[in-house]
């Protein structure tokens, strides 16, 4: 009798155990969504998007399809953020500092000469500081999934070589549509011209602006070398990028579906950063081969740039919020072992 009862109990336990340990895929529904970005195919940003789309497809058992729209075909970054808030586009990836107009604390990541390396930035953005910024986004209709990277920005122009601070004076330099980069170049004596990335090549070609500032991978990917003669390795700013999803879309997902997006964004993050750093080193060599003149600032000249922008750091620290900036520098000290 006991034997029969044991068999019956085991027989009932097995399907229950299978249900408990069965794949979460049973809960995943069909979805199709648009993922937009400003850079062109072949750029590390888009390579990260491609990896993310593959991972989502794999982790959802083919039920969730992420359609990619690179090259700014659905609009510039600021326009795309509005489309996410309205639920017209589901996802984007862009420089985290651009979100300063939505959440002022994001301006902290735009502060000049902030990070000494990409690895240092990773620790800060993946840690408590980056997480605290993401927590402020849902109130604006956005949800942050992970931080990727654009990298260190360098200066190019079409007028003359820039080897010292004084050489920047009077140059019309296109910047991203964010307060700190605008004031950064104005404080260095340039005339900052904020423009969407999608309009930049034409602005350089027509002479609307003399120059621009972007990581080396962008200069190659967008073919800025065709319309620029001089590059200076300034590394004046590091751009972490943030992968965003529309809160309207996010709120309609169940826990299993959300877990797919979160896991894919983090896994793609590690791949994207690796690719970005590998391509940055190669891109500088490629730029030299295009015929552009590449200069590097001496440590003394770099210090002059740092000194020139110190008042800007103090000014924006007050606007961003003392608490946020204090937390950022505290985490930087921890990362540097101070």
The mean pLDDT of 71-92, rounded to a whole number, is 96
pLDDT for position 21: 39
pLDDT score of 8 more than 60? no
The pLDDT confidence band at residue 246, using thresholds 50, 70 and 90, is very high
Q: Is 77 in contact with 92 (CB distance < 8 Å)?
A: yes
- 């993946």: which residue's tokens? 126
CATH superfamily assigned to domain 29-335: Bacterial extracellular solute-binding protein, family 7 (3.40.190.170)
Whether pLDDT at 199 is above 90: yes
Dump pLDDT digits (tens) for 218-227: 999 999 999 9
Which phi and psi angles does 249 have, rounded to 5°? Answer: -70, -45
pTM of the predicted structure, to 2 decimals = 0.87
Which of 177-181, 184-188, 226-230 comes out lowest in average pLDDT? 177-181
Please report where in the chains the tokens 């579906």 appear, as a residue.
257
Task: Average the pLDDT over each of 31-35, 90-94, 306-310 and give the range with the smallest value.
Answer: 306-310
The pLDDT of residue 150 is above 90: yes
Q: What is the pLDDT of residue 26?
A: 59
| Domain locations in the chain as residue ranges | 29-335
User: How far apart are the C-alpha atoms of 245 and 117, rounded to whole Å?
Assistant: 27
> How high is the pLDDT of residue 140?
98
Write down the pLDDT at residue 178.
Answer: 85
pLDDT above 60 (res 22):
no
The total number of residues written for the chain in this structure: 338
| Residue 158, phi then psi, degrees to nearest 5 | -115, 5
Q: What is the pLDDT averaged over residues 303-309? A: 93
pLDDT on residue 177 = 87
Contact present, 31 and 256 (Cβ < 8 Å): no
Checking if the pLDDT of 5 tops 50, the result is: no
Strands, E assignment, 141-255: 142-157, 172-175, 191-194, 211-214, 230-246
CA distances from 148 to 109, 111, 131, 163 (A): 13, 18, 13, 31
d(CA 155, CA 157): 7
Instruction: Find where tokens 């502060």 sit.
Output: 111
Q: DSSP readout, 91-158? A: EEEEEGGGGGGTSGGGGGGG-TT--SSHHHHHHHHHSHHHHHHHTTSGGGTEEEEEEEEEEEEEEEES
What percent helix, strand, coil does the chain show, rounded to 5? 55, 20, 25
pLDDT on residue 4: 54
């Amino acid at each position: 009798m006991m034997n029969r009862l044991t068999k019956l109990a085991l027989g009932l336990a097995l399907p229950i155990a299978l249900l408990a340990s069965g794949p979460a895929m049973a809960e995943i529904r069909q979805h199709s969504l648009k993922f937009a970005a400003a850079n062109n195919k072949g750029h590390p940003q888009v390579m990260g998007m491609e990896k993310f789309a593959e991972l989502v497809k794999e982790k959802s058992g083919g039920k969730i399809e992420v359609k990619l729209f690179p090259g700014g075909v659905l609009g510039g970054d600021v326009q795309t953020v509005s489309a996410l808030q309205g639920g017209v586009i589901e996802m984007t990836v862009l420089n985290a500092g651009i979100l300063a107009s939505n959440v002022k604390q994001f301006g902290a990541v735009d502060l000049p000469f902030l990070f000494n390396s990409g690895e240092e930035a990773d620790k800060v953005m993946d840690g408590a500081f980056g997480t605290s910024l993401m927590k402020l986004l849902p109130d604006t209709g956005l949800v942050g999934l992970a931080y990727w990277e654009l990298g260190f920005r360098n200066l190019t122009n079409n007028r003359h070589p820039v080897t010292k601070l004084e050489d920047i004076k009077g140059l019309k330099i296109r910047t991203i549509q964010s307060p700190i980069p605008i004031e950064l170049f104005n404080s260095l004596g340039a005339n900052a011209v904020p423009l969407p990335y999608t309009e930049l090549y034409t602005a350089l070609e027509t002479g609307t602006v003399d120059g621009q500032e972007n990581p080396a991978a962008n200069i190659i990917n967008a073919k800025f070398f065709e319309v620029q003669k001089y590059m200076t390795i300034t590394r004046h700013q590091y751009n972490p990028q943030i992968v965003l999803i529309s809160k309207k879309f996010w709120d309609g997902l169940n826990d299993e579906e959300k877990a797919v997006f979160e896991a894919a964004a983090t896994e793609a993050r590690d791949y994207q950063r690796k690719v970005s750093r590998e391509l940055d080193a190669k891109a500088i060599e490629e730029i030299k081969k295009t015929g552009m003149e590449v200069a590097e600032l001496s440590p003394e000249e770099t210090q002059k740039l740092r000194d020139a922008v110190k008042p800007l750091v103090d000014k924006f620290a007050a606007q961003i919020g003392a608490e946020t900036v204090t937390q950022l520098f505290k985490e930087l000290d921890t990362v540097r072992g101070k």
